Amino acid sequence: MWIKICGITRTKDAIIASMCGADAVGFVFAESSRRVNPNVVREIVRNMPGGPVRVGVFVDEEIEKVKEIIGYCSLDFAQLHGDESPEYCDELGGLAIKAIRLDGHLTPDIINSYRCPVMIDARLDRGDLSSLDIKGFIEGLNEKRIIIAGGLNPENVAEVISKLRPFGVDVSSGVESSPGKKDPILVGDFIKRARIAEYEVMKSGT
């Protein structure tokens, strides 16, 4: 299970995520209450321990600017939340994660047109998981690394993993004390519950 803690704005939160066992941390470069500038991210990355991969979050940014920030901040991936095309993602040469919102217009064909890992923004905070046919949707996809995001928190992450069996999960506001400030207890609890759920899935063999 690939676990990402997104919306990191402080070095201590990156360190906490790493110590708790996160596989990735995310930095938002797009318009957001969690937006950070490249100089801050560069400093955070320099001071955090090795382990988690570093992901930059962008929205419809010029691709040369994305590449520039990736290099300057020593990032591993670019998470793309705008209208970026499959060709745009391909141009990043294996560094792209395409985020797509789950709505009535999204189809498996749209997701399958991307060759990179895809993050599905399921907006779980706006609806009961049982009312969303995400599992059936995911089963209609080609072999692809699917990451679930949108409204995750320590209370629902185990159910999401148990029902959807994604490659990864991504959380931001669900582990915060305020926007951009992570709560160490919530971060640790989220990761612990995700790992336990992952173990239960593996143990069941299904």
Residue 20 annotated as catalytic: no
Closest CA to 8 of 49, 57, 51, 46: 57
Residue 73 annotated as catalytic: no
Give the position of tokens 């999204």. 106
- Spot the catalytic one: 13, 20, 89, 121: 121
Strand, helix or coil at 179? Answer: coil
- Spot the catalytic one: 6, 20, 73, 116: 6
β-strand pairing of 181-182 with 176-178? antiparallel
Distance CA 180, CA 156 (A): 21
Catalytic residue list: 6, 121
